[in-house]
A = this chain, B = another copy of it.
Amino acid sequence: MTTWLDTVAGIVGPRHLITDPDTLAAACLDWRGRYRGRAQAIARPGSTAEVAALVRACVAAGAPIVPQGGNTSHCGAATPDDSGRALIIQLHRMQALRAVDADNNTLTAEAGCTLAQVQDAAAGVGRLFPLSLASEGSCQIGGNLATNAGGVAVLRYGPMRELTLGLEAVLPDGSVLDSLSGLRKNNTGYDLKQLLIGAEGTLGIITAATLKLFPAPEATATALVEVSNPADALALLHALQARFGDRLTAFELISGLCLQLLARHLPDARPPFMPPWCVLLELNDGGSEAVLNQALAEALCALRPQADAVLARHARERAQLWTLREQISEAQKRDGPSIKHDIAVPLSQLAGFIERADAALQQAFPACRVVCFGHVGDGNLHYNVSYTRPGNVDLFDDEPAVNALVYDLVYAHGGTLSAEHGIGQLKRDWLRRYLPPANLAAMRAVKQALDPLGLMNPGKVL
């Protein structure tokens, strides 16, 4: 008798149907180790046609489908539930660069390409693909799209949604949505690719995308600048944007406590000064780097004549400054566990939110520590809380109370509980608390229309 898995093996070839328990166990555990699910098998298709055939086979068998890229979700979005019936579809064999069109400033990549491969392909033709994440060596374009990934360059270039011109995806009925297009203007009906982007695999499996490229910057200027508080950081942001427009590509806020943790735990990441707050900012431009550095120095002297500031003189100093920003998570990890929040508020609300949230947490948990840093140019903060109790013991027992306090204030300030990490399994119940019922009902109607059997990455988002 032919079983359902025989059909799957016939589609991808027996070598690409994996039932080995160790490999299966690894694919069923999320990156942060918070979720462990179960699955029947892993299939590794080599083409869009194979993905479509797999989806049709799953529909015929009533088997849930869990698409998986680099498995680096922070929210358990790529981890199956514990029904044990799911087929995990891993995309990493699909890593063709179908087209690199420098004259159109576009590139068409299959979903299994890592972000780093796409960055390299762009650089190979003198272009920039600006998305940049800590996990870029292992995260895949399909996952970047499914979660509408962000990162440090959103300030200028926007998130993954704004970097995407075209998309190919297998829909829950096994049909192939072909919206691969390198057009910057195209008004021909509903923009369905927007539904797939950010849907975390619940509306279909993204198999390829046409992405925007940009001229590779010829000049870079990087500075670390003291500011007195978040409101002062915002004033500096607006002044620099008025002067430099989109040449300002990064503007990262770092609190004094972040610098103290760096100094304490990571002796190689030495902050050059110890202000209450600082920003790490970067300009990119065509033309001469000396001219750009000079323009930034003049602007900072005019705007913040009294502030401590360091301008990178060469690539090594630039890397040292960025190490400060990039090592904050590691420094905090060495300091102990923390309750993490990936939140955003409108820029005009940012200083008020931080002040009120800090005060409310201090009142509820007098000894708590807040490690606050992030992509403040987008209003996006990583706002992490620890030491709710002496010695940081039983921290996660306080997680529901801490989340409720933080998220209530986030929404009171017009913000969001997920700026760039998505919902996955982690924030599903919280989303229901804050999203208006009509919005949830419309989402469910769309899900029901495209995935009436509910087989596509069940238990995520909705």
The answer to whether the Cβ of A417 comes within 8 Å of any Cβ in the partner chain is yes
Contact status of A418 and B188, CB under 8 A, knowing A238-B103, A442-B177: yes
Contact status of A414 and B181, CB under 8 A, knowing A104-B346, A197-B191: yes
The answer to whether the Cβ of A105 comes within 8 Å of any Cβ in the partner chain is yes
Q: How many copies does the complex hold?
A: 2
B-side contacts of A158, CB under 8 Å = 162
B-side contacts of A445, CB under 8 Å = 449-450
Interface residues of A in 198-221 (CB under 8 A from B): 198-199, 203, 214-215, 217-218
A343 to B188, CA, bound (A): 11
A78 to B243, CA, bound (A): 41
Closest chain-B Cβ to A112's Cβ sits at a distance in Å of 22
The answer to whether the Cβ of A320 comes within 8 Å of any Cβ in the partner chain is no
Count of chain A residues with Cβ under 8 Å from any Cβ of B?
94
Instruction: Please indicate which of the listed interface residues A218, A438, A441 has the most CB atoms of chain B within 10 Å of its own CB.
Output: A438
The answer to whether the Cβ of A116 comes within 8 Å of any Cβ in the partner chain is no
A377 to B395, CA, bound (A): 54
The answer to whether the Cβ of A406 comes within 8 Å of any Cβ in the partner chain is no
The answer to whether the Cβ of A89 comes within 8 Å of any Cβ in the partner chain is no
Contact status of A379 and B184, CB under 8 A, knowing A161-B191, A346-B104: yes
Interface residues of A in 230-274 (CB under 8 A from B): 234, 238, 241-247
The answer to whether the Cβ of A448 comes within 8 Å of any Cβ in the partner chain is yes
The answer to whether the Cβ of A446 comes within 8 Å of any Cβ in the partner chain is yes
B435 near A188 with CB under 8 A, answer: yes
Which among A2-10, A30-38, A146-154 touches the partner chain? A146-154
A183 near B379 with CB under 8 A, answer: yes
**Chain B: CB-nearest residue to A178:** B436
A284 to B274, CA, bound (A): 38
Q: Of the candidates B186, B198, B349, B449, which one forms a contact with A416 in the assembled complex, judged by CB atoms under 8 Å apart?
A: B186
Interface residues of A in 425-452 (CB under 8 A from B): 431, 434-436, 438-443, 445-450
Closest chain-B Cβ to A315's Cβ sits at a distance in Å of 21
A245 near B242 with CB under 8 A, answer: no
A217 to B245, CA, bound (A): 8
B-side contacts of A440, CB under 8 Å = 189
The answer to whether the Cβ of A179 comes within 8 Å of any Cβ in the partner chain is yes
Can you give 22 A-B contacts (C-beta < 8 A)? Answer: A101-B348, A103-B238, A103-B348, A154-B184, A171-B442, A178-B436, A185-B420, A186-B344, A187-B416, A187-B421, A188-B417, A188-B434, A189-B199, A189-B423, A189-B440, A189-B462, A190-B443, A192-B446, A194-B194, A446-B446, A446-B449, A449-B449
User: Which are the 5 A-B pairs with shortest beta-carbon distances?
Assistant: A449-B449, A194-B194, A103-B348, A185-B419, A175-B438
